[in-house]
């Protein structure tokens, strides 16, 4: 008998196990106001040592420029908003478009990355990327030292269930949840940022309701 059959037989031989309906009595949404949700998101991200700014749509370029001030080279996904890409290239910064895909060594030699994002969760300060052309493949937001994420304020949900409902529309996309920069607490539980992934996380929240 092959291993699969044998394992399935063993499970069945273990006897009937009663099923239960899954009660989902936990919170799925909240009554929180939009401004509270944004404020919670900022607080949770800052708690994870991310640098956060809130700007009107017209301010994204300047914010990107500022967040990249220490970078000399930047990788961007092929579908990134053109004006954002231009902002990444200000002050002579070299912009590398990940199309055709950069080699691992090239990525390793790149200081920063700018991506868009799919959805955020204010309750836990999490931002979710699902690999669409404005976010790029997973490696580009992993290898460079600084990750600048642009997040639309309207894409910030209060709770995890609300965010999962959105990513669930495309469950097969490779999806990365990010909460703060890479961190370890493995030595005496002292938090050290930037062990393997990006050492710096910078978030630009775009609020459509703000005027310039």
Partner 1 sequence: MLDKLKELGSSIGLNPADWSEQDIEEQKLGWYPGHPTPDDPLRWGRTFPEGARETLQNTQMRRNLGYATGKIRTKRNTRVEELPDWEELREAGSLIKRNTLAHLPELLETFEQKVTERGGIVHWARDAAEANEIAYSIIAAKGVDEVVKVKSMATQEINLNSYLEERGIEAWETDLAEMIVQLSHDMPSHIVVPAIHRNRSEVKAIFEARMEGRPRFATNEPRELAMAARAHLRKKFLSAKVAISGANLGVAETGTLAVYESEGNGRMCLTLPETLITVMGIEKIVPSYRDIEVFSQLLPRSATGERMNPYTSFWTGVTEGDGPQEFHLILLDNGRTNVMKDEVGREALKCIRCAACMNICPVYRVSGGHAYNSVYPGPIGAILTPQLLNATDRKDPATSLPFASTLCGACYDVCPVKINIPEILVHLRHTITEANRGGLPNAWDVAMKGTSSVMSSGKKMERAGNAMKAGRLAAGRDRKIGHIPLPVAKEWTGTRDVPAPPATSFRTWWNDEHEETK
Q: In the range 58-117, which residues lie near partner 1 by CB under 8 A?
A: 101, 104-105, 108
Tokens coding 135: 């976010």
How wide is the angle at C-alpha 76 spanned by C-alphas 47 and 68, nearest 5°?
50
Among 178, 203, 204, 205, binds partner 1 (CB under 8 A): 178
Q: What are phi and psi of 79, to 5 degrees?
A: -95, 15
CA distance 141 to 135: 8
Q: To the nearest whole angstrom, how small is the minimum distance from the Cβ of residue 18 to partner 1? A: 6
Q: Per CB under 8 A, which region of 53-61, 63-71, 150-158, 182-190 contacts partner 1? A: 182-190
Q: Per CB under 8 A, which region of 55-63, 79-87, 112-120, 193-201 contacts partner 1? A: 193-201
Does residue 166 bind partner 1 (CB under 8 A)? no
Does residue 186 bind partner 1 (CB under 8 A)? yes
Among 2, 91, 92, 212, binds partner 1 (CB under 8 A): 2
Does residue 31 bind partner 1 (CB under 8 A)? no
Best CA proximity match to 47, nearest among 210, 187, 175, 183: 183
CA distance 119 to 126: 8
Measured in whole angstroms, how far is the alpha carbon of residue 185 from the centre of its chain? 21
Residues 127-156 that bind partner 1 (CB under 8 A): 131, 137-139, 142-143
Identify whether 100 is preceded by a cis peptide bond (ω within 30 of 0).
yes
Residues 32-61 that bind partner 1 (CB under 8 A): 44, 47-48
Alpha carbons within 13 A on the beta-carbon side of 149? 33
Does residue 18 bind partner 1 (CB under 8 A)? yes
Q: To the nearest whole angstrom, how small is the minimum distance from the Cβ of residue 105 to partner 1? A: 7
Does residue 171 bind partner 1 (CB under 8 A)? yes
- Number of residues binding to partner 1, judged by CB under 8 A: 73
Q: What are phi and psi of 146, to 5 degrees?
A: -120, 130
């Amino acid at each position: 008998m092959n291993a699969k059959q044998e394992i399935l037989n063993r499970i069945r031989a273990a006897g009937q196990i009663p099923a239960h309906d899954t009660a989902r009595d936990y919170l799925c949404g909240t009554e929180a106001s939009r401004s509270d949700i944004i404020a919670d998101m900022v607080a949770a991200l800052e708690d994870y040592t991310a640098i956060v700014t809130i700007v009107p749509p017209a301010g994204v370029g300047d914010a990107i420029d500022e967040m990249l001030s220490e970078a000399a080279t930047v990788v961007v996904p092929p579908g990134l908003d053109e004006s954002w890409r231009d902002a990444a290239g200000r002050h002579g910064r070299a912009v590398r478009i990940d199309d055709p895909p950069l080699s691992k060594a090239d990525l390793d030699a790149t200081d920063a990355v700018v991506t868009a994002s799919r959805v955020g969760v204010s309750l836990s300060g999490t931002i979710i990327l699902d690999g669409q052309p404005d976010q790029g493949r997973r490696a580009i937001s992993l290898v460079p030292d600084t990750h600048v994420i642009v997040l639309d304020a309207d894409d910030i949900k209060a709770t995890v269930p609300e965010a999962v409902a959105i990513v669930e529309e495309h469950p097969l996309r490779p999806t990365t949840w990010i909460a703060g920069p890479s961190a370890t607490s493995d030595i005496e539980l002292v938090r050290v940022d930037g062990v393997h992934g990006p050492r710096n996380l910078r978030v630009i929240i775009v609020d459509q309701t703000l005027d310039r």
